[in-house]
Amino acid sequence: MEPVKGRRETIVFISVSPNPPKSQTSAPRAHPVHPPATPPVRVRSLSTPLLWRFYESLLRIRLSEQRISRLYPTDKIQSPIHLSTGQEAVSVGVCQALRKGDHVYGTYRGHGLYLALGGGLKGFFAEMFAKTHGCSHGKGGSMHLVAPEVGLMGCSAIVASMIPVATGDALAASIQGSSRVIVAFFGDGAVDAGVFYESVNFALLKKLPILFVLENNGYAVHSKVAERHSRTDLHRVLAGVGLRGRRLEGNDVRQVYGAAQEALRSVRQGAGPLLLELTTYRWQEHVGPQSDIDGSYRRPGEKARALRRDPLGICRHALLERGATSRRLDALCARTESEIDRAVAFAEKSPFPGVGQLLRGVYR
Amino acid sequence: MNSSRRRLMSYGETIRQTLHHAMDRDPSVLVMGIGVDDHKAVFGSTLGLSKDFGTRRVIDTPISEAAMTGVAIGAAVGGMRPVHVHMRCDFLYLAMDQLMNLAAKWSYMFGGRMSVPLVVRCVIGRSWGQGAQHSQSLQSFFMHVPGIKVVMPTTSADVQGLLLAAIADPNPVLVIEHRLLYGIQGMVPSVFRAAPFGQTHVRRTGKDVTVVANSYLVVEALKAAEFLSRHGIDIEIVDPVSLVPLNAGPIVESVRKTGRALVTDTSWVSCGTSAEIAALIAEKAWDRLRVPLRRLGNAPATCPVSQPLEKAFYPDAWKITRNVFEMMGRKFPEGKWKDDDIQFKGPF
Q: What is the pLDDT of residues A171-203, one digit of tens each?
A: 999 999 999 999 999 999 999 999 999 999 999
* Nearest of B343, B254, B303, B252 to residue B127 by alpha carbon: B303
Of chain B, the end-to-end C-alpha distance in Å amounts to 15
Q: Quickly state the pLDDT bin for B127 (edges 50, 70, 90).
A: confident
Cβ pair B41, B47 in contact under 8 A: yes
* B chain contacts of residue A164, beta-carbon cutoff 8 Å: 66-71, 73-74, 98
Read off the pLDDT of residues A306-350 as tens digits, 9 standing for 90 and up. Answer: 999 999 999 999 999 999 999 999 999 999 999 999 999 999 999
With 0-12 / 13-18 / 19 or more C-beta atoms within 10 angstroms meaning exposed / middle / buried, residue A158 is middle
Q: Is the pLDDT of residue B146 over 80?
A: yes
What distance in Å separates residue B46's CA from the closest CA in chain A? 19
What distance in Å separates residue B141's CA from the closest CA in chain A? 17
Nearest to A176 among B69, B70, B79 (CB): B79
How many Å apart are CA B305 and CA A281, to the nearest integer?
A: 54
Q: Is the pLDDT of residue B227 over 60?
A: yes
Residue B257 neighbours by CB distance under 10 Å: 16
Rounded to a whole number of angstroms, the CA Rg of chain B reads 20
Helices and strands per DSSP (H, E), number in chain B: 12, 14
How many Å apart are CA B69 and CA A162, to the nearest integer?
A: 11
Question: Per CATH, which fold does B201-341 belong to?
Answer: Rossmann fold (3.40.50)
Q: Please give the average per-residue pLDDT across B269-294, as a whole number.
A: 98
pLDDT of residue A43: 66
* A chain contacts of residue B77, beta-carbon cutoff 8 Å: 153-154, 165, 168-169, 172
Read off the pLDDT of residues B57-80 as tens digits, 9 standing for 90 and up. Answer: 999 999 999 999 999 999 999 999
How many Å apart are CA B42 and CA B39, to the nearest integer?
A: 9
The phi and psi torsions of A258 (rounded to 5 degrees) equal -60, -45
What distance in Å separates residue B136's CA from the closest CA in chain A? 24
pLDDT of residue B348: 81
Residue type (1 letter), A274: L
Read off the pLDDT of residues B172-191 as tens digits, 9 standing for 90 and up. Answer: 999 999 999 999 999 999 99
Cβ pair B184, B234 in contact under 8 A: no
Nearest to B97 among A105, A135, A158 (CB): A158
What distance in Å separates residue A280's CA from the closest CA in chain B? 27
- The answer to whether the CB atoms of B61 and A156 lie below 8 A apart is no
pLDDT of residue A40: 54
- The answer to whether the CB atoms of B110 and A144 lie below 8 A apart is yes
What distance in Å separates residue B147's CA from the closest CA in chain A? 5
- The answer to whether the CB atoms of B113 and A146 lie below 8 A apart is yes
> In angstroms, what CA-CA distances link B53 with B50, B79, B85, B117?
5, 18, 17, 20
Sorted by sequence, the CB contacts under 8 Å of residue B102 that are 6+ apart come out as: A156, A158, A161, A162, A165, B70, B73, B116
Measured over the CA atoms of residue B78, residue B80, residue B81 and residue B85, the dihedral's sign is negative
How many Å apart are CA A59 and CA A43, to the nearest integer?
A: 20
Task: Establish whether B310 is a catalytic residue.
Answer: no
Cβ pair B161, B108 in contact under 8 A: no
What distance in Å separates residue B96's CA from the closest CA in chain A? 11
How many Å apart are CA A246 and CA B54, to the nearest integer?
A: 35
Sorted by sequence, the CB contacts under 8 Å of residue B42 that are 6+ apart come out as: B33, B35, B36, B85, B87, B123
* Nearest of A208, A272, A212, A139 to residue B75 by alpha carbon: A208
Measured over the CA atoms of residue B58, residue B63, residue B68 and residue B69, the dihedral's sign is positive
Longest CA–CA separation in chain A, Å = 60
Residue B248 neighbours by CB distance under 10 Å: 21
How many Å apart are CA B89 and CA B95, to the nearest integer?
A: 10
Per DSSP, A35 falls in state P
pLDDT under 70: residue ranges of chain A: 1-44
Q: In terms of pLDDT, which residue wins out, B230 or B347?
A: B230
- The answer to whether the CB atoms of B73 and A164 lie below 8 A apart is yes
Q: In what order do the strands lie in the sheet with B294-298?
A: B201-204, B235-239, B209-212, B261-268, B294-298
How many Å apart are CA B146 and CA B105, to the nearest integer?
A: 8
Residues of chain B with CATH 3.40.50.970: 3-189
Nearest to B57 among A169, A175, A360 (CB): A175
Residues of chain B with CATH 3.40.50.920: 201-341
E strands in chain A: 4-5, 10-11, 103-107, 152-156, 182-187, 210-216, 219-220, 223-224, 244-249, 274-279
Task: Establish whether B334 is a catalytic residue.
Answer: no
* A chain contacts of residue B59, beta-carbon cutoff 8 Å: 171
The phi and psi torsions of A344 (rounded to 5 degrees) equal -65, -40
Sorted by sequence, the CB contacts under 8 Å of residue A330 that are 6+ apart come out as: A4, A5, A6, A7
User: Cis ω on the peptide bond leading into residue B240 (within 30° of 0)?
Assistant: no
- The answer to whether the CB atoms of B110 and A167 lie below 8 A apart is no
Q: Is the pLDDT of residue B1 over 60?
A: no
Read off the pLDDT of residues B266-280 as tens digits, 9 standing for 90 and up. Answer: 999 999 999 999 999
Q: Which of A105, A132, A175, A179 to mutate to test the interface with B (most CBs of B within 10 A)?
A: A175
Q: Which residue of B has its CA nearest to A357?
A: B111
Write down the CATH number for the domain with range B3-189.
Answer: 3.40.50.970
Q: Quickly state the pLDDT bin for B4 (edges 50, 70, 90).
A: low
* Nearest of B152, B208, B207, B206 to residue B180 by alpha carbon: B152
* B chain contacts of residue A105, beta-carbon cutoff 8 Å: 74
What ipTM is given for this predicted complex? 0.95
Q: Which residue of A has its CA nearest to B27?
A: A176
pLDDT of residue B126: 95
* B chain contacts of residue A352, beta-carbon cutoff 8 Å: none
- Helix B11-25 × helix B156-168 angle, to 10°: 30
* A chain contacts of residue B110, beta-carbon cutoff 8 Å: 136, 139-140, 144, 146, 154
pLDDT of residue B185: 97
pLDDT of residue A215: 98
Q: Which of B110, B118, B151 to mutate to test the interface with A (most CBs of A within 10 A)?
A: B110
pLDDT of residue B340: 77
Q: What is the percent of chain B where pLDDT is above 90?
A: 93
How many Å apart are CA B90 and CA B124, to the nearest integer?
A: 8
How many Å apart are CA B296 and CA A296, to the nearest integer?
A: 57
Sorted by sequence, the CB contacts under 8 Å of residue A22 that are 6+ apart come out as: none
Read off the pLDDT of residues B331-346 as tens digits, 9 standing for 90 and up. Answer: 999 888 888 777 787 7
How many Å apart are CA A324 and CA A317, to the nearest integer?
A: 9
pLDDT of residue A99: 98
Task: Report the SS3 class of residue A186.
Answer: strand
Superfamily of domain A4-21+48-357 in the CATH hierarchy: Thiamin diphosphate (ThDP)-binding fold, Pyr/PP domains (3.40.50.970)
User: Cis ω on the peptide bond leading into residue B347 (within 30° of 0)?
Assistant: yes
Taking one residue from A and the other from B, the number of pairs with CB-CB distance under 8 angstroms is: 152
pLDDT of residue A273: 98
